[in-house]
Chains A and B, each alone.
Chain A
Amino acid sequence: MVSLLKRSLAIISILVIGYWLAQGLAGVPFGEDKMLVGHYYLQHVKEQTGAVNAVTAVVVNYRGLDTLGEVTVLFIASTGVAALLWRKKRERTAKVGGSPVLTVGTKFLVPFVMLFGAYIFIHGHLTPGGGFPGGATIATAFLLLYMAFTIYEIPHKAFEKVEGLAGMGYVLVGLIGLAIGGYFLFDWIWQDWQWGVDNIGRLFSGGFIPIIYTIIGIKVGTELSGIVDNMLKEEVRE
């Protein structure tokens, strides 16, 4: 009876909250042009950043400092997972490997999945995607390896080093901008050197967006594979 009471109370409060939300959103027209600063970004994105994909330009160029903060949050979360699950001795305890379909498919697909992830983050300024989805795709390849083979482990030392170097690389790109252009994360490749001005819409354009997205892709890929590794291991007692 208690659970029934609790359940009906929850349903009633949810209906009230839903009615309030709907009432509030009734004043926000759907499908109308509500852009304020969005118009400015869309008008100037090609000349100011060299990117075709306005979303990527907003994420990396106009609001690059935000993205640096976001990468920091991701780093803290992956460090937190590692700290919460830390034990003296941890090993993979899975006894049953993947089925033949999974193992053969993994052997076949892993290089292509990684290649596709790299494609996503290198072409972030041209096509949908970017460093975060690309990195997640690369981590999926490692997840496949973990699921298919009971003894597989990522090379931890190398991954940690690559992750740290990628994080430093992002800050370094920002500091070079500070030295050349006078403010942090200044896009010196596009605005000072004007590389790729006749190349808009092709791979070699977009200023430092491909560079930063490559760094972010590597960092996100290594961090998410580290999270997968931490979650799949268990403590071993002697």
Chain B
Amino acid sequence: MNVPDISIYYFGAIALVLIGLYAALVKKNLLKILIGLSIMETGVNLLLISIGYVSGKSAPILSEGVGPTQAVDPIPQALVLTAIVIGVATTAMALSAVVLIYEKYRTLNVEEIRRLRG
């Protein structure tokens, strides 16, 4: 099993995704699971941005000294811009579902909720 040789940014993105996945798998508090999902989302965004990076080039804003050949790829950044906003909206929606669950069961522990329902 050889260790794959990847850049530190990819490593960080994968680490963030895995930390979020761990929280979503192991934690029992619904809020902590949601925090894990948010961390995973951050990791995916970091991965997209770092794939679009071209070393030595600057942000894709064509001002003085930055021509079309000296800028990084604008498309991943546009995608991440949309992904962040959608992430905020979906997190808000998930949180309001959690509020409803707490009002009904008076607990946020997923195992207790499962037992109460069953």
A contact set with B: CB distance below 8 Å: 6-7, 10-11, 13-14, 17-19, 21-23, 25-26, 28, 30-35, 37-39, 41-43, 45-46, 52-55, 57-59, 63, 66-67, 70, 73-74, 77-78, 80-81, 84-85, 126-128, 130, 132, 136, 201, 220, 224, 227, 230-231
Contacts and interface: CB of A to CB of B under 8 A. Distances in A.
A80 B10 CA distance: 35
Most buried by A among B5, B50, B93: B93
Interface in B1-47: 1, 4-7, 9-11, 14-15, 17-18, 21-22, 25-26, 47
Contact of A30 (B7, B95, B99): B7
A41 B74 contact: yes
6 contacts: A14-B22, A18-B18, A42-B68, A45-B68, A52-B61, A230-B96
A136 B88 contact: yes
B116 interface: no
A84 B54 contact: no
A189 to B, nearest CB: 20
Contacts, number: 152
Contacts of A30: 6-7, 9-10, 50, 53, 55
Most buried by A among B15, B18, B71, B81: B81
A145 to B, nearest CB: 18
B14 A74 contact: no
A11 B22 contact: yes
Sorted from nearest, which 9 A-B pairs have the closest CB atoms?
A: A31-B55, A77-B89, A30-B7, A26-B4, A54-B60, A54-B74, A38-B73, A42-B68, A58-B78
